[in-house]
């Protein structure tokens, strides 16, 4: 069978599996819907957490970012992995012992304040919708390329699948669906990585292949060859970083703190039977995550080498079909600036923006060109870094079934995270805004109905954002992490470890951190992008890293305000002390 037929088959079988699991494990109560009844085994929860964690950004984008940024791309590995460790060690067990359904639930109860709860809900919804828009767009792009349907239809199919297992199954359905999705996505990531490592180095383990010698008789190591190749083309060496030390530190810290404050990952630790299981599931999740995260640097390096070998200085008519396929969906573009009919790859952009169908024309040799194309520079190739993992098997000419497997894996990654985010949004609306704030008389059945309606509404909004993404979707990844780092993380950490922290301090800290981070990123990303550079940044910290400063501001304001205002009630102090006692707790403590 060809790759197209196999892709249809693999995706159809995996989708049928996800929906079947959702029907089997459908939620019958709010406890099932929000936290899967609190009865998920630590190993299963570890797999589900890993699938929730490794979104389209991890599966599709991270290796692509590393492929094109080289050493500087390591901040994403350090930040995201370090953030998970921070979450697992400092937050997860204590939040599980507290035993509420959601992050705003913890903040509202701990700070005895509906204002704090509402600020947390607003932060959570903004963070979650920022993420989910990207996930749904990723689903649309994958469908568009692999299944030959328009991006809009791809988003619609993804919405339908997520609707089935998120609205019907709730957290219970999502948890066991994510276990299946983890198995699909990790297999889909590792198999092509092993194949390509064997082809390039003869070593079957990608992590070891990255440090091995290239099997071309040159005697050069992979990174050594990549450095030489890039320097010859005019790029900086792959292993040389271009960011300042303070910016690397700030971005890593912002990603760590933002990651530890991500509500859709935190809520996974509410689904296990007891506190000790939260720690165990965190350990399992870290192992499952490490399988992909330690492979990504090798995938990135191999992808960049393969891309250069198969594209640079090749006649346009002789490049493989994969190049033309991605060109047709606007994620690769070529402009023959010197008129020689050959593709020249080097530093700089061949276009003023990425190739889009609007305002586009065909060149004499069939090359993509924009009517407003910039003529500066010698580079003739535009390549969207998000395609590298998806295109890697095609570039390396792997068997069709491997290409189909990657399509199924990338959809599993995007859909698993989208479902987790949508559930967090629906739980915040139904449980925190309605049940705990504006409609306290809701019965369990009414709350479950409200949660399902909120989930369906959130899916509709997410689908709209996937079909009509704001122009800055690619830029708001930093925005989401900055918001999480500057708002939720400090409030949760202080809520667990500071007996003196009160509602006034928490609310003031969240608002200050949010306001500062929002303003800084909005200024440099949207209002004054022409000023976006190291000379204009405060302390040399980029918008991607400013969440670290926002978090510091949150801590400072919260601690100062709490010092000058009334101490929290004795009941809250007792609650915090109870959360911090590790021994003797084996049953959920549901309020």
Q: pLDDT tens across 95-108, in order?
A: 878 776 678 888 98
77-91, 166-180, 229-243, 377-391 — which is least confidently predicted? 166-180
Between β-strands 332-334 and 381-383, what pairing exists: parallel, antiparallel or unpaired? antiparallel
Question: Which tops the pLDDT comparison, 561 or 57?
Answer: 561
Residues 423, 263: Cα–Cα separation, whole Å: 10
Check whether 360 has a pLDDT greater than 60: no
Check whether 480 has a pLDDT greater than 60: yes
Residues 120, 116: Cα–Cα separation, whole Å: 6
pLDDT bracket for residue 34 (50, 70, 90): low
**What was the pLDDT predicted at 456?**
81
Among candidate residues 5, 9, 19, the one with its CA nearest the CA of residue 419: 19
Cα-to-chain-centroid distance, residue 74: 15
**What was the pLDDT predicted at 536?**
86
Mean pLDDT of 98-124: 84
**At 370, phi and psi to the nearest 5?**
-95, 145
Residue 96, H or E segment? helix 92-98
**What was the pLDDT predicted at 474?**
45
Mean pLDDT of 262-291: 80
Check whether 583 has a pLDDT greater than 60: no
pLDDT bracket for residue 351 (50, 70, 90): low
Question: Which tops the pLDDT comparison, 407 or 263?
Answer: 407
| Token pair listed for 377 | 């520079």
Residues 336, 338: Cα–Cα separation, whole Å: 6
Check whether 311 has a pLDDT greater than 70: yes
Encode pLDDT of 486-543 as tens digits.
Answer: 999 999 999 999 999 999 999 999 999 989 998 998 888 777 777 777 888 998 998 8
pTM over 0.75: yes
Question: Which tops the pLDDT comparison, 569 or 55?
Answer: 569
Check whether 412 has a pLDDT greater than 90: no
**What was the pLDDT predicted at 111?**
93
Question: Which tops the pLDDT comparison, 7 or 166?
Answer: 7
Q: According to the per-residue pLDDT averaged within each range, which of 152-156, 342-346, 455-459 is highest? A: 342-346
Percentage above 90 pLDDT, the chain:
21
Residues 9, 4: Cα–Cα separation, whole Å: 9
Q: Which residues pair with 278 in a beta bridge?
A: none
């Amino acid at each position: 069978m060809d790759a197209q037929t196999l892709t249809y088959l693999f995706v159809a079988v995996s989708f049928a599996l996800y929906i079947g699991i959702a029907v089997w494990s459908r939620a019958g109560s709010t406890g099932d819907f929000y936290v899967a009844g609190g009865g998920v085994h630590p190993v299963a929860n570890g797999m589900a957490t890993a699938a929730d964690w490794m979104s389209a950004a991890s599966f599709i984008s991270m290796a692509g970012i590393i492929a094109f940024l080289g050493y500087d791309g390591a901040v994403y590995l350090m930040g995201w992995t370090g953030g998970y460790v921070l979450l697992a060690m400092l937050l997860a067990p204590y939040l599980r012992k507290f035993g509420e359904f959601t992050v705003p639930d913890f903040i509202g109860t701990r700070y005895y304040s509906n204002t704090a709860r509402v600020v947390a809900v607003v932060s959570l919804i903004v963070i979650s919708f920022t993420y989910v828009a990207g996930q749904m767009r990723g689903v649309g792009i994958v469908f568009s390329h692999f299944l030959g349907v328009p991006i809009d239809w791809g988003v619609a199919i993804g919405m339908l699948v997520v609707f089935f297992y998120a609205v019907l199954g709730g957290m219970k359905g999502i948890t066991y669906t994510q276990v299946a999705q983890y198995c699909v996505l990790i297999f889909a990531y590792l198999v092509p990585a092993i194949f390509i490592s064997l082809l390039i180095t003869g070593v079957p383990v990608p992590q070891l292949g990255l440090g091995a010698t290239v099997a071309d008789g040159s005697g050069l190591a992979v990174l050594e060859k990549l450095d030489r190749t890039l320097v010859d083309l005019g790029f900086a060496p792959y292993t040389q970083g271009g960011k300042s030390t303070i910016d690397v530190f700030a971005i890593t810290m912002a990603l760590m703190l933002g990651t530890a404050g991500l509500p859709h990952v935190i809520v996974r630790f509410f689904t296990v039977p007891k506190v000790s299981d939260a720690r165990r599931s965190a350990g399992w999740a870290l192992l499952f995550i490490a399988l992909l995260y330690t492979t990504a640097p090798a995938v990135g390096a191999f992808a960049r080498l393969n891309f250069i070998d198969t594209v640079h200085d090749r006649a346009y008519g002789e490049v493989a079909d994969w190049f033309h396929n991605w060109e047709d969906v606007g994620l690769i573009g070529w402009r023959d600036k010197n008129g020689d009919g050959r593709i020249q790859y080097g530093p700089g952009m061949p276009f003023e923006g990425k190739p889009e169908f609007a305002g586009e024309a065909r060149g004499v040799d069939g090359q993509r060109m924009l009517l407003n194309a910039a003529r500066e520079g010698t580079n003739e190739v535009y390549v969207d870094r998000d395609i590298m993992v998806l295109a890697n098997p095609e570039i390396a000419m792997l068997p069709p079934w491997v290409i189909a497997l990657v399509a199924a894996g990338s959809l599993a990654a995007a859909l698993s995270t989208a479902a987790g985010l949508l559930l967090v949004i629906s739980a915040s609306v139904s449980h925190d805004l309605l049940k705990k704030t504006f409609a306290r008389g809701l019965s369990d059945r009414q709350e479950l109905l409200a949660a399902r309606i909120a989930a369906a509404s959130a899916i509709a909004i997410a689908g709209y954002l996937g079909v009509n993404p704001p122009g800055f979707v690619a830029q708001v990844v930093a925005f989401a992490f900055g918001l999480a780092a500057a708002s939720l993380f400090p409030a949760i950490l202080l809520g667990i470890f500071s007996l003196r922290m009160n509602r006034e301090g928490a609310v003031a800290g969240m608002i200050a951190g949010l306001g500062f981070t929002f303003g800084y990123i909005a200024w440099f990303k949207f209002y004054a992008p022409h000023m976006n550079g190291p000379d204009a940044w405060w302390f040399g910290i980029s918008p991607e890293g400013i969440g670290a400063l926002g978090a510091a501001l949150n801590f400072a304001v919260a601690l100062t305000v709490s010092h000058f205002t009334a101490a929290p009630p004795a009941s809250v102090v007792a609650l915090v002390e109870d959360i911090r006692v590790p021994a003797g707790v084996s049953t959920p403590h549901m309020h």
